[in-house]
């Protein structure tokens, strides 16, 4: 038996995304952000998107390209402080922003990827983060109901992969990538180095291939992936 080949072209993979889609993006700051897939999304121009990402990148890169092009209706994130455009658009009512505590955002995504409806946590009790959430009592303790966060598409950046979509991440570029890879109806991975089947040892795979639908080999890495000069 041979594992299926999921390699695809970037243009075709992104073309499947319709207007109004909910899209999860990997990355915490620069590491792990799928800049090439985002750039293609900007080129194709899908509108009215809901973007789910830990942060809004910095001004001039990644999520900021989508914001600048007016493609984002809604953003779900834990922190957008490094992108002044995102903060300004939020305050001006040009985009809707929902904040979640960082680990709760991660867990809501993980929950969706695990086929669960939600979970109960005491994080945020007694703060404004609890507003609008349902209180639940579990074995005498009060918590908040946090719902699973699903997406139509997940755009992932991986360091290495094989044709079947087994993924490995570099260093701190892992962050939200393995979680979002599990939580979307279709997961598209851009990969720095695509290897033949068998080249990745089973023990070193971070995201198993069944979670991944399409593998896009990056021809070269644009400068935006490099060290940010401040």
Partner 1 sequence: MSSSARTRMLRRAAAEIRPGMVVNLGIGLPTQVLAHVPANLPVCLHSENGIAGVGPVREGAAADRNLIDAGGAYVSTVPGASFCDSATSFAIVRGGRLDLTLLGAFEVAGNGDLANWIIPGQFTPGAGGAIELAQKARRVCVLTTHADKSGRSKIRKRCELPLTAPACVDRIVTDLAVCDVTAEGLVLTELADGVSVAQVLAATDADLIVPEGAIPTF
Residue of 16, 42, 73, 78 interacting with partner 1 (CB under 8 A): 78
82 vs 217 by CB, closer to partner 1: 82
15 touches partner 1 (CB under 8 A):
no
Q: How many residues in total does the chain contain? A: 230
Total residues interacting with partner 1, rule: CB under 8 A: 50
Q: Residue 228 Cβ, how far from partner 1 at the closest point, in Å?
A: 8
Query: 146 near 177, Cβ under 8 Å?
Result: no
User: CA-to-CA distance for 183 and 166, rounded, in angstroms?
Assistant: 16
Contacting partner 1 within 161-220 (CB under 8 A):
169-179
Residue of 30, 61, 63, 215 interacting with partner 1 (CB under 8 A): 30
State how far the alpha carbon of 222 is from the alpha carbons of 2, 34, 183, in Å.
Answer: 34, 11, 28
Query: Which pair of structure tokens corresponds to residue 131?
Result: 């507003």
Q: Which residue has the tokens 């997961």?
A: 187
10 vs 75 by CB, closer to partner 1: 75
Report helix, strand or coil for 227. coil
Q: Residue 190 Cβ, how far from partner 1 at the closest point, in Å?
A: 14
Name beta bridge partners: 75: 51, 97
Q: Which residue has the tokens 């992104």?
A: 14
Query: 129 near 163, Cβ under 8 Å?
Result: no
Contacting partner 1 within 79-138 (CB under 8 A):
79-82, 87, 90-91, 97, 99, 101-107, 109-110, 121-124, 126-129
The contact set with partner 1 (CB under 8 A) reads 28-32, 54, 77-82, 87, 90-91, 97, 99, 101-107, 109-110, 121-124, 126-129, 159, 169-179, 225-228
């Amino acid at each position: 038996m041979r594992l299926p080949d999921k390699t695809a072209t970037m243009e075709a993979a992104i073309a499947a995304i319709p207007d109004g889609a909910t899209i999860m993006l990997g990355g915490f700051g620069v590491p792990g952000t799928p800049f090439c897939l985002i750039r293609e999304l900007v080129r194709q121009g899908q509108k009215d998107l809901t973007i789910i990402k830990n942060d809004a990148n910095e001004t001039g890169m990644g999520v900021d390209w989508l914001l600048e092009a007016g493609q984002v209706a809604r953003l779900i994130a834990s922190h957008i402080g490094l992108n002044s455009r995102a903060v300004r658009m939020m305050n001006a009512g040009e985009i809707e922003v929902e904040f979640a505590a960082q680990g709760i955002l991660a867990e809501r995504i993980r929950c969706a990827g695990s086929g669960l409806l939600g979970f109960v946590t005491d994080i945020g009790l007694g703060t404004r983060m609890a507003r609008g959430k349902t209180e639940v009592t579990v074995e005498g303790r009060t918590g908040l109901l946090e719902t699973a966060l699903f997406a139509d598409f997940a755009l992932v950046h991986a360091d290495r992969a094989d044709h079947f979509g087994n993924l490995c991440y570099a260093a701190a570029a892992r962050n939200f990538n393995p979680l979002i890879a599990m939580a979307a109806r279709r997961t598209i991975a851009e990969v720095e180095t695509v290897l033949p089947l068998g080249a990745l040892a089973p023990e070193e795979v971070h995201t198993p291939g069944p979670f991944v639908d399409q593998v896009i080999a990056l021809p070269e890495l644009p400068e935006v992936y490099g060290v940010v000069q401040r």
